[in-house]
Structure 1
Amino acid sequence: MNKLAKITATALFALFLTACDKADKTADTHKPAETTAPAMSVEAQEKADYEKLIAWNQEQGALQAQNQQKLQQELNAAAETKDENKAKAAIEAFNKNVQASIASLDALDVKSDLIGNAKNQTKEVLTLASQLLVAQANVKTEADQKAYAEKAVELQNKMQALAELGAQIEAKFNPAPVQSDASSTEAPAVK
C-alpha cells in the first residue's frame, strides 16, 4: 500500500508539472494582436515558436489531465483489490502516454534558441518524471529509495529551472501586468 501511495504521488507530481507549465503559458495566449506589429525576423520567429509551444502545451495539458484521471482510477482499483500487477499495468500505460507527449514535443519545429531551450527543458522534465514513475514500482531497498529520492530532487530542480525560464519568456511576450500598472499610475497624473 505504501508503494502504491508513492506511485500515486509521483503520478500527481507529473501532472503538477504539466499543470504548472500550462498555467505559465496559457496566460500568454490573450495577446495575439501583437503579431501584426512589424518586428525583426528573429523576434518574429521567437513569437511564432512561442505560439507553437503554447498550442502544444494546451493540447498536451488536456490529454495529460485525462490520462492522469484514468491513472488515478486504475490505481484506486488496484489498491482496492491489492493487485500490484494492475498498478504496474496502469503505470506502464500512463508512461506510454507520457512518451507520446515527448514524441509530439520532439516533432515541434522550433528555430528560436530561447523557445528551443524551453522545449528541451520541458522534454528533460517530462523524461525524468516518466523515469521516476517507472522507477517507483521498483523501489525495494533503502539504496533504491535513496536513488529515487535523488532523482526526485533532480526533477524538482529541473522543474524550478523550467518555471524560471517560463517566467522569463512570459515577461518577454506578455508584459501586460506591467502595462496595466503603468496606465493606472498615469491616469491620476492626467487628472
Structure 2
Amino acid sequence: MDKFTKMTAATLFSLFLAACDKPAEAPASSTQAPVATETTNVQSTQVMDQVGVEDYNKLAEWNKEHEKSIETAQLSLQEQLQSQDEKQIEEALKAFKGTLDEVLVSLDKLDIKHVEVNALKGKLREILVGSSDVMNESVNIMMAPEKVATEEIKQRLQNKTENLQNTVLELQKLEAELSQKFGGASQPQHSQPK
C-alpha cells in the first residue's frame, strides 16, 4: 500500500510543478501599424490575446494564492499517515478534503473567458478532484486493508492514479503551450511527474 501512497503523493506534487506558478508578462506591443485590410482581424486577435494574457495571469495568481494551503494540507496528511494513528489519519484526511473543497469552490468562482485558459482551468479542476479521490481511496485501503484491499479495488485505484498522472501530463503540455503564447518563452519548463 505504501506504493499507492507514494504514487498519490507524487501525482499531487506534480500538480504544483505543472500548474502556472508565475504570472505571465504581457507581450510587447508592436510598433508598426497593421495593414488597413487586416485591421479588423488583427484587432480581434489582439483583443483575444489580451483576454488570454489577463486570464492566464489571473489563473497563475490564483494558483500562487492556493498552492501553499494545498501543500500544507497534503504534508499534514502524509505526517499523520506515518503515525499509523487511525483517528489522526481520519482527521487529517478530513482536513485535506476540506482544503481541496475550498480550493475547488474558489477555482469555480474564477472568471476565465478565454477558451484555452479555461481548458487549463478545467484540467486543474480535474486534477484536484482526482487527487482527492485517489488520496481518499488510498487512505481507506491503508486503514482497513483486510476489508477493502481486494485485487479489483487495488487495480481500480492504480488505474485512477495512472489516469490522474496522464491528466497531469496533459495539463503540463497545455500549460507549456499557454505559457509560450501568453506568458513569454522565458517561463521555466516544469518537471515531469515521477
- Counterpart of 2:153 in structure 1 is 144
User: Which of 9, 14, 17 is the matching residue for 1:12?
Assistant: 9
- Equivalent positions of 1:94-105 (< 5 A) are 94-105=96-107
- Counterpart of 2:21 in structure 1 is 26
- Counterpart of 1:114 in structure 2 is 116
Q: CA deviation at 1:55?
A: 0.4
Cα distance in 2 for partners of 1:177, 1:97 equals 32
- 1:138 is paired with a residue of what secondary structure? helix
- Counterpart of 1:46 in structure 2 is 52
Cα distance in 2 for partners of 1:41, 1:129 equals 35
What is the aligned length? 166
TM-score, normalised via structure 2 length: 0.75
Is the CA contact (8 Å cut-off) linking 1:11 and 1:68 kept in structure 2?
Answer: no
1:63-101 CA distances to partner (integer Å, 9 max, x unpaired)?
Answer: 12222232233323x32xxx2232122112111111111
Greater RCO, CA 8 A, separation 6+:
2
- Equivalent positions of 1:1-191 (< 5 A) are 3=1, 5-6=2-3, 8-9=5-6, 12-22=9-19, 25-27=20-22, 29=23, 31=25, 34=27, 37=29, 40-76=46-82, 78-79=83-84, 83-139=85-141, 140-177=149-186
Cα distance in 1 for partners of 2:8, 2:167 equals 17
Cα distance in 2 for partners of 1:104, 1:10 equals 26
Segments of 5+ residues of structure 2 without an aligned counterpart are 31-42, 142-148, 188-194
Label 1:54 to 1:177 Cα distance change in 2 as closer, same or farther (>3 A).
closer
Cα distance in 2 for partners of 1:130, 1:108 equals 20
1:21-63 CA distances to partner (integer Å, 9 max, x unpaired)?
Answer: 24xx234x3635x4x7386221111111111100011011121
Q: CA deviation at 1:6?
A: 4.9
- 1:111 is paired with a residue of what secondary structure? coil
Is the CA contact (8 Å cut-off) linking 1:18 and 1:61 kept in structure 2?
Answer: no
TM-score, normalised via structure 1 length: 0.76
Which amino acid in 1 is paired with 2:29? A
Which amino acid in 2 is paired with 1:50? Y
Q: CA deviation at 1:120?
A: 0.5
Higher-helix-fraction structure: 1
Segments of 5+ residues of structure 1 without an aligned counterpart are 179-191
1:100-129 CA distances to partner (integer Å, 9 max, x unpaired)?
Answer: 111111110001000000000110111011
Q: CA deviation at 1:177?
A: 4.3
Is the CA contact (8 Å cut-off) linking 1:10 and 1:133 kept in structure 2?
Answer: no
